[in-house]
Chain A
Amino acid sequence: MNVLKYFFVGFLFGIVLTKSEAVSWYRIYEMFQFQSFHMYGIIGVAVATGVIGIQIIKRYNIKDIDGLPIEIQEKPKDNARYWIGGISFGLGWALVGSCPGPIFILIGAGFMPVIIVLIGALIGTVIYGALKSKLPH
């Protein structure tokens, strides 16, 4: 159970993202055309659930499964990386309709051409890793 719990959480994630159709290229296109509330509803409710959960964790000092205090990392207070990186990801997200999670979910579901997207994503990761010290953050 120690490590299997991660598999099960991922399994639930894969099913929810597929059954909500958040992995669908069509749903992403429809979202960026503002022609459906569906995707905004999913993200909105996920964030609302998260905000309430994290507030409960903080207020009641809830410990994690090993009894250790829960510390949620703050994001670095940078600027350029969020705008440039964010826009780059957005361009790719709307082009091939998948963010990193769905790339794996879709390959698992048998959409083999998504492997090309994964190869591209790994190349993009290597490009970032190689250029990291030269890029503004």
Chain B
Amino acid sequence: MSVIFQTWPWYVSGFLIGMVMLSLIYFGKNFGMSTNLQSLCSMTGLGKRIEYFDFDWKANRWNLLVVLGAMAGGFVAVHFMSDPSNVDINPKTIAQLAQMGIDAPNGKLMPQALFGEQVWQSPKSILILLVGGVLIGFGTRYAGGCTSGHAISGLSNLQLPSLKAVIGFFIGGLIMAHFLLPLLF
């Protein structure tokens, strides 16, 4: 049973994520998480003012159900399937993070420095999380997909546009991780 509580190996996880995508294709749908951002905006009635949100979001309700399921899955995995051995990252990574004042995982998924309850009192932390979110929302909708829509679904269907997007993801990610994060922390 202990294998369930440990970090799931990449080959098991990757295979299951591939099967999640294939299941949705078999259901006549597609695998894309960032579309839900567009649906959530459309639900507020923004479609009356902005054409991009003027579509029948109810046709995407199935995807919002996937999101609800994913939220429940996250809850179950964190509360009932965790183990102190989790998030065993490279010691070099931990040392680098320490230099920036970011705490080591010690079994937890998210650093306190960015996601602890104290962020609600820190305008800087709130701004970082907000700006990160804006970049994610703007970028994924501009590119027409995120890790699920482009990196997994698009590359699986051998789409050249998705390869461009994924290379873009990595250019942005490398710039942030190597040059900008050290300036922020």
**Contact of B110 with A111 in the complex, beta carbons under 8 Å:** yes
Closest B residue to A105 by beta carbon equals: B74
A126 shortest CB reach to chain B, Å: 6
For B175, list chain A residues within 8 Å (CB): 87, 90-91, 94
For B109, list chain A residues within 8 Å (CB): 18, 21, 23-26, 106, 109, 111
In the complex, which of the residues B70, B138, B147, B156 contacts A50, with contact meaning CB atoms closer than 8 Å? Answer: B156
* Tally of A-B Cβ pairs under 8 angstroms: 506
**Contact of A13 with B165 in the complex, beta carbons under 8 Å:** no
- Interface size of A as a range: 35 or more
- Counting chain A CB atoms within 10 Å of each CB, the highest count among B10, B20, B26, B117 belongs to B10
5 pairs from A and B in contact (CB 8 Å cutoff):
A38-B10, A46-B18, A92-B134, A123-B133, A125-B141
Chain B contacts to A: CB under 8 angstroms = 4, 7-8, 10-30, 33-34, 36-38, 40-41, 46, 50-53, 61-63, 65-79, 81, 86-87, 89-90, 92-93, 96-97, 105, 109-111, 114-117, 119-120, 125-126, 128-148, 150-162, 164-178, 180-181, 184
B147 shortest CB reach to chain A, Å: 4
In the complex, which of the residues B62, B81, B161, B172 contacts A93, with contact meaning CB atoms closer than 8 Å? Answer: B172
For A76, list chain B residues within 8 Å (CB): 144, 161
Secondary structure call for the B interface: helix
Secondary structure call for the A interface: helix
**Contact of A50 with B144 in the complex, beta carbons under 8 Å:** no
**Contact of A95 with B19 in the complex, beta carbons under 8 Å:** no
For A49, list chain B residues within 8 Å (CB): 14-15, 17-19, 22, 156
In the complex, which of the residues B12, B14, B68, B92 contacts A10, with contact meaning CB atoms closer than 8 Å? Answer: B68
